[in-house]
Structure 1
Amino acid sequence: MDKYKLGQVLSEMYENAKHGESVAMIHLFGIKYADEIRKAETTATELANLAKISPAYATEISKGMKLSKYVKVI
């Protein structure tokens, strides 16, 4: 998956999140797509920009990516 598709997925997850759960969805994105993000050779900041969300959320994407080593999405 390229960085543009990842940005689209992030945008959809963020926009479709239930009220009060948008940050959790950003974490989930980082967890679920950590390997794809690394393969796309992009940054969390670039993905936030592509998703048209605040670049401040890059930290939350990175947290999710780090958590991906320890959790499994069911």
Structure 2
Amino acid sequence: MTLNQLSSTLKEMYSNAPKNEQVTMVHLFGIKYAEHLQKIGVREVVQQSGLPISYNTEINKGINLAKYVSPR
């Protein structure tokens, strides 16, 4: 995936998240796209998505979880 694809997917997942589950969707994004994010860089994706840069930490949590879990 490209930087543009990742950033738009992140923004979409965040925007369409059920009420009070936005951060959960950010974690899920990190889990689902961990390999791509490690190649491109989390910071760039967050910056381009327009979300606060603090979500960088939340995506990294998802990347770390990707070693142990998989989405249903």
With structure 2 as the length reference, what TM-score do the two structures score? 0.93
**How far is 1:10 from its partner?**
0.3
With structure 1 as the length reference, what TM-score do the two structures score? 0.91
Question: Which consecutive residues of structure 1, in runs of 5 or more, have no partner in the other structure?
Answer: none
2:24 paired residue number = 24
The ranges of structure 1 where at least 4 consecutive aligned residues each deviate by more than 2 angstroms after the TM superposition are: none
Helix, strand or coil at the partner of 1:58: helix
Q: Tell me how large the CA RMSD over aligned residues is.
A: 0.9
**How far is 1:42 from its partner?**
2.3
Instruction: State the distance in 2 between where 1:37 and 1:57 align.
Output: 13
Instruction: State the distance in 1 between where 2:71 and 2:33 align.
Output: 10
Count the aligned residue pairs: 72
Percentage of pairs with the same residue: 42
Question: Which consecutive residues of structure 2, in runs of 5 or more, have no partner in the other structure?
Answer: none
